[in-house]
Amino acid sequence: MDDMTWDYILKFVIVGDAAVGKSCLLIRLTDDRFAASEPTLGVEFGSRLVSTTVGGQAKRVKVQCWDTAGTESFRSITRSYFRGAAGALLVYDVTRRETFEHATSWLSDLRTHADENVSIILVANKTDLCATEPTVLPQIQFGEAVYVMPEPAPEAGTPAPEQDATDSSAESGSKSTATPSGNISPPAKNDSAAPGRKLVPRAVSTLEGALFAKQHNLLYVETSAKEGWGVIDAFEQTARQILERVERGEFERRKPAGVNLAENKTKGGCC
Reported confidence tier of residue 234, pLDDT bands at 50, 70, 90? very high
Segment 158-214, tens digit of pLDDT: 454 454 444 433 333 433 334 333 443 343 344 334 456 799 999 999 999 999 999
Query: For 136, left (φ over 0), alpha (ψ -120 to 50), or beta?
Result: beta
Amino acid 59 reads: K
* Distance (Å, whole) CA 3 – CA 254: 29
- Residue 155's pLDDT is 45
Q: In the predicted model, is pLDDT for residue 39 greater than 80?
A: no
DSSP the chain: --TTB-SEEEEEEEE-STTSSHHHHHHHHHHSS----PPPSSEEEEEEEEEEEETTEEEEEEEEEEEEP-SGGGHHHHHHHHTT-SEEEEEEETT-HHHHHTHHHHHHHHHHHS-TT-EEEEEEE-GGGT-SSPPPPPPP-TT--EEEPPPPPPPTT-PPPP--TT--HHHHSSEEE--TTS---PPPP-GGGSTTS-----SS-HHHHHHHHHHTT-EEEE-BTTTTBTHHHHHHHHHHHHHHHHHTTTTSSS--TTEEE-SSSB--S--
Q: In the predicted model, is pLDDT for residue 242 greater than 90?
A: yes
* Distance (Å, whole) CA 8 – CA 211: 31
Q: Which residue has the higher pLDDT, 70 or 134?
A: 134
**Cβ pair 167, 151 in contact under 8 A:** no
- Residues in a beta bridge with 47: 64
What's the pTM value of the predicted model, to 2 decimals?
0.73
- Residue 175's pLDDT is 39
Reported confidence tier of residue 251, pLDDT bands at 50, 70, 90? low
Segment 102-122, tens digit of pLDDT: 999 999 999 998 888 899 999
Interior angle at CA 108, CA 103 and CA 114, nearest 5:
115
**Cβ pair 138, 211 in contact under 8 A:** no
* Distance (Å, whole) CA 54 – CA 69: 32
- Residue 11's pLDDT is 93
Mean local confidence (pLDDT), 15-28 = 92
Segment 56-104, tens digit of pLDDT: 899 999 999 998 775 555 566 767 788 889 999 999 999 999 999 999 9
The full set of domains in the chain, from first to last, is 8-141+202-261 (3.40.50.300)
- Residue 137's pLDDT is 75
**Cβ pair 256, 117 in contact under 8 A:** yes
